[in-house]
């Protein structure tokens, strides 16, 4: 790791913006916004999806220039010509979207631009891997192989490398845009330990997250954004007040109350002799009108189970029945025929789920095309009308249904995915971490929608990385551990604590 000295602590605004505006076509991402972060502080930046957080980070990180207004460094207006220029000013940024080059090794990505070279300028591969290993170990990372290709490591590991790559360059200003959205709890703790070290050395850190517990755990000050403008900066503020400021309205209870599953409700979906590893077997059944939670630590087989039920690819072993009748789910087409809808929040929006270059409308109507087409001709009017209804129903922030999905903010892209399974009218919904990365108000809307759909008799299988959410929103929770069901928790003993306890039992 470089031994460059850390900049001395400075009193006032080290980095910020003064009355900046930024528009993309007709969309005003920032409207006369001002913001400042100091040395030696963690500055939390919060706001709804589309509030302008990432745009602000891009301006501060040199990725985009403002239309009007100034980026401020040490109280002086500066013009950053790009991220490399920003780096020369000591600004390091972890952007919301991942930037690693998939065909390069972890070590090459980590040490890009500072690789050990031979006398004639060739990269010394052995030395590169050893140096990367040492650098990672210095940050407390021991489980990532520096020789692996970036494309081969998990999304959480890629995120950790993105963070490590910036930290080892010792920035005096560190900008982190939703760095925890793909990290498990232990990795979040790792990141927070690094952030605290850097803060104590005088680094100015800007941190965005939709998880309020993270913001209160790490931020010294919090700035709330709404509609492209700051609405206030606070040293302490409670969640209810923050939500009101973020959304402009009160959100009284985050979780709606759950109606009981009707007595004698028929089994909508059942799995017998299911297996994720081909050895251990398990079984469960899900009733119409029930929300059945799947909990447990990350990487215990949740994803395989959800994809398996959807035939993408099929489960290693197991007999699936729908409405009491055995069905064969060999591929997603079978699952759709059987009345399954799957909403899988893509780990990486760029590669799964959404077609970023296609309009919002087409992304919403993808599974519907058969229904709204006649003799193979898509009825454009019907498609447009349904898309418009969904856009307003879910509050998807887009200037028109024809906007490419790739131009939407991260959370709004997610709403498009959620809207798609709603339009598909499936009887059985497989919802995999659908609230990850969405703001509190949207989360509230999604939770209400789930409860409403259950009330209408839909059967919902639900995985969430947010244990509180599982505890509040599910009738029952099955805790997965090592690819099998380790516990079944029913009300009233179903709590976030009991889920965590069941997930951890004899895990050590
Ligand atoms: N390249 C772009 N082209 C068109 N519109 C854009 C572009 N980048 C951002 N926007 C729009 O600007 C607004 C602000 O987006 P931004 O990404 O800054 O929001 P955010 O607060 O980071 O949201 P999230 O919490 O969902 O990440 C959104 O309405 C978004 O759709
Ligand atoms: Mg963002």
- 469: three-class secondary structure by DSSP: helix
- Written in H, E and C, the secondary structure of 291-317 is EEEEECCCCCCHHHHHHHHCCCCCCCE
The per-residue pLDDT for 239 is 87
Q: Give this prediction's pTM.
A: 0.78
**Cα–Cα distance for residue pair 262/288, rounded to 1 Å:** 9
Is residue 372 scored above 70 in pLDDT?
Answer: no
Instruction: Kindly give the interhelix angle for 155-167 and 185-200, rounded to the nearest 10 degrees.
Output: 10
pLDDT, residue 333, reads: 79
pLDDT at 418 over 90: no
pLDDT(375) > 70: no
Structure tokens at 58: 């891009």
**Least confident window among 176-185, 369-378, 427-436, 476-485:** 369-378
Only one residue has tokens 């979040």, namely 188
Cα angle: 146, vertex 54, 79; to 5 degrees: 95
Q: What is the mean pLDDT of residues 102-129?
A: 86
Nearest listed ligand to the Cα of residue 412: 1
* Residue 351 confidence (pLDDT): 47
CA distance 56 to 29: 9
Q: Helix, strand, or coil here: 474?
A: coil
Q: How far apart are CA 485 and CA 293, in angstroms?
A: 12
- Nearest ligand to the CA of 51 is 1
Residue 212 pLDDT greater than 70, yes or no: yes
Neighbours of 156 (CB within 10 A): 18
**Cα of 307 from ligand 1 centre, angstroms:** 30
Closest ligand 1 atom to 96 CA: 27
* Average pLDDT for 215-232: 96
Measured distance CA(203)–CA(170) in Å, rounded: 9
Euclidean distance between CA atoms 403 and 406, whole angstroms:
8
> Residue 432 and residue 437: Cα distance in Å, rounded?
13
Q: Which residues contact 100 (CB under 8 A, 6 or more apart)?
A: 109, 150, 158, 161, 162
Distance CA 19, CA 265 (A): 58
Q: Between 374 and 403, whose confidence is greater?
A: 403
The pLDDT assigned to 343 comes to: 66
Of the two residues 410 and 69, the one the predictor is more confident about is 69
Atom 7 of ligand 1, residue of closest alpha carbon: 407
The top-scoring range by mean pLDDT among 240-249, 285-294, 314-323 is: 285-294
Please write the tens of the pLDDT for every residue from 341-351. Answer: 666 665 554 44
pLDDT at 223 over 60: yes
Mutate to test the pocket of ligand 1, among 17, 226, 409 (most ligand atoms within 8 A of CB): 409
436 pLDDT band (50/70/90 cuts)?
confident
Atom of ligand 1 at shortest distance to CA of 411?
A: 26
For residue 201, count other CB atoms closer than 10 A to its CB. Answer: 15
Which residues sit with their C-beta closer than 6 Å to ligand 1? Answer: 24-25, 27, 29, 47, 49-55, 96, 397, 407-412, 439
Domains by residue range for the chain, with CATH: 15-103+149-247 (3.40.50.300), 266-339+427-508 (3.40.50.300), 351-425 (no CATH)
Contact yes or no for 232/245 (Cβ under 8 A): yes
Q: Which of 195, 135, 141 is nearest to 171 (CA)?
A: 195
Q: Which atom of ligand 1 is nearest to the CA of 410?
A: 26
DSSP H or E segment with residue 341: strand 340-344
Cα-to-centroid distance, 361 and ligand 1 (Å): 18
How far is the centre of ligand 1, averaged over its atoms, from the C-alpha of 410 (Å)? 7
Separation of 57 CA from ligand 1 center, angstroms?
A: 11
The tokens for 479 are 């805790």
Name the residues around ion ligand 2, CB cutoff 5 A. 53-54, 96, 410
Distance 178 CA to ligand 2 centre (A): 7
Find the 356 Cα to ligand 1 centroid distance in Å. Answer: 14
Cα of 408 to ligand 1 centre, how many Å?
5
The minimum-distance atom of ligand 1 relative to the CA of 25 is 4
Express each pLDDT in 439-493 by its tens digit.
887 788 788 888 988 998 889 999 988 888 999 999 999 999 888 899 999 988 9
Q: How far is CA 134 from CA 146, 156, 168, 191, in A?
A: 10, 20, 11, 18
Q: Are strands 377-378 and 42-47 parallel, antiparallel or unpaired?
A: unpaired
CA–centroid distance, 268 to ligand 2, in Å, is 37
The 8-class DSSP code of residue 483 comes to T
pLDDT of 82 higher than 70: yes
Residue 507 confidence (pLDDT):
46
**Highest-pLDDT range among 68-82, 146-160, 243-257, 416-430:** 68-82
Residue 268 corresponds to which tokens in the numbers above?
């909508």
**Residue of minimum CA distance from atom 12 in ligand 1:** 29
Ligand with the closest atom to the CA of 438: 1
410 alpha carbon to ligand 2 midpoint, in Å? Answer: 6
Q: Which of 408, 435, 442 to mutate to test the pocket of ligand 1 (most atoms within 8 A of CB)?
A: 408
User: Atom 19 (ligand 1): residue with closest C-alpha?
Assistant: 50
Ligand 1: residue whose CA is nearest its atom 6 = 407
pLDDT at 183 over 90: no
Residue 8 has pLDDT above 60, yes or no: no
Work out whether the CA dihedral 386, 392, 395, 396 comes out positive or negative.
positive
Query: Which ligand has the minimum distance to the alpha carbon of residue 415?
Result: 1
């Amino acid at each position: 790791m470089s031994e460059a000295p850390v900049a001395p602590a400075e009193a006032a605004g080290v980095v910020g913006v003064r009355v900046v505006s930024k528009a993309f076509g007709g969309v005003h991402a920032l409207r006369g916004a001002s913001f400042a972060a100091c040395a030696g502080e963690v500055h939390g930046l919060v706001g709804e999806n589309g509030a302008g957080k990432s745009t602000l980070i891009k301006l501060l990180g040199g990725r985009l220039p403002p239309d009007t207004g100034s980026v401020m460094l040490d109280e002086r207006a500066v013009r950053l010509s790009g991220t490399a220029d920003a780096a020369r000013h000591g600004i390091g940024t972890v952007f919301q979207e991942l930037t690693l080059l998939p065909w390069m090794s972890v070590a090459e990505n980590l040490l890009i631009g500072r690789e050990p070279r031979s006398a004639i300028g060739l990269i010394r591969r052995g030395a590169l891997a050893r140096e990367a290993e040492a650098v990672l170990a210095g940050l407390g990372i021991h489980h990532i192989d520096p020789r692996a290709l970036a494309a081969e490591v998990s999304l959480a590991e890629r995120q950790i490398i993105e963070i490590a790559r910036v930290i080892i360059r010792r920035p005096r200003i560190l900008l982190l845009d939703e760095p925890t959205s793909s990290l498990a709890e232990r990795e979040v703790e790792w990141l927070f330990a690094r952030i605290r070290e850097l803060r104590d050395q005088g680094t100015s850190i800007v941190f965005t997250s939709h998880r309020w517990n993270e913001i209160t755990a790490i931020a010294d000050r919090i700035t709330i954004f709404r509609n492209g403008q700051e609405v206030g900066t606070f040293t302490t503020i409670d969640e209810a007040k923050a939500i009101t400021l973020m959304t402009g309205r009160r959100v009284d209870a985050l979780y709606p109350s759950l109606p009981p599953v009707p007595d004698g409700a028929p089994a909508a979906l059942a799995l017998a002799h299911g297996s994720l590893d081909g050895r251990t077997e398990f079984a469960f059944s899900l009733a119409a009108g029930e929300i059945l939670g799947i909990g447990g630590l990350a990487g215990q087989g949740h994803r395989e189970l959800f994809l398996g039920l959807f035939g993408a690819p099929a489960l290693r072993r197991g007999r699936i029945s729908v409405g009491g009748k055995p069905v064969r789910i060999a591929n997603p087409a079978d699952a759709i025929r059987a009345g399954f809808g799957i909403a899988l929040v893509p780990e990486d929006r760029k590669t799964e789920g959404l077609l970023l270059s296609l309009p919002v409308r087409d992304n919403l109507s993808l599974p519907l095309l058969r229904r709204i087409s006649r003799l193979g001709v898509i009825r454009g009017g019907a498609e447009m009308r349904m898309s418009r209804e969904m856009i307003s129903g879910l509050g998807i922030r887009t200037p028109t249904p024809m906007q490419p999905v790739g131009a939407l903010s991260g959370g709004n892209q997610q709403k498009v995915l959620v809207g798609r399974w709603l339009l598909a009218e499936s009887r059985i919904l497989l919802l995999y971490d659908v609230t990850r990365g969405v703001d509190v108000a949207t989360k509230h809307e999604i939770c209400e929608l789930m409860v409403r759909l259950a009330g209408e008799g839909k059967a919902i299988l639900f995985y969430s990385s947010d244990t509180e959410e599982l505890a509040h929103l599910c009738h029952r929770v099955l805790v997965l551990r090592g690819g099998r069901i380790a516990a079944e928790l029913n009300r009233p003993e179903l709590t976030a604590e009991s889920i965590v306890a069941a997930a951890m039992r004899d895990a050590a």
